A = this chain, B = another copy of it.
Amino acid sequence: MSKVIVAAFGVSMDGFAAGPDQSLENPLGVRGTELMGWFFPTKTFNDMHGDGGGTTGVDNEFAARSFVNIGAWIMGRNMFGPIRGPWPDESWKGWWGPNPPYHVPTFVLTHHARPPLEMEGGTRFIFVTDGIQSALRQAKEAAGKKDVRIGGGTSTVRQYLQAGLIDEMHLVLSPVLMGKGENLFAGLDLHVMGFKCVERAASEKATHVVLKKTGGA
- A: which residues have CB within 8 A of B? 11, 13-15, 31, 171, 173, 175-180, 185-186, 188-193, 195-197, 200, 202, 207, 209, 211, 217
Contacts and interface: CB of A to CB of B under 8 A. Distances in A.
Given A13-B209, A14-B15, A202-B202, A179 B173 contact: no
A37 to B, nearest CB: 11
Q: Is the interface of A mostly helix, strand, loop or mixed?
A: loop
Nearest to A210: B175
A195 to B, nearest CB: 6
Number of copies: 2
Nearest to A199: B175
Counting chain B CB atoms within 10 Å of each CB, the highest count among A177, A188, A191, A207 belongs to A177
Contacts of A192: 179
Contacts of A176: 197
A211 B173 contact: no
A202 B207 CA distance: 8
Counting chain B CB atoms within 10 Å of each CB, the highest count among A178, A185, A192 belongs to A185
A202 B209 CA distance: 13
A173 B13 contact: yes
Given A15-B185, A185-B15, A179 B175 contact: no
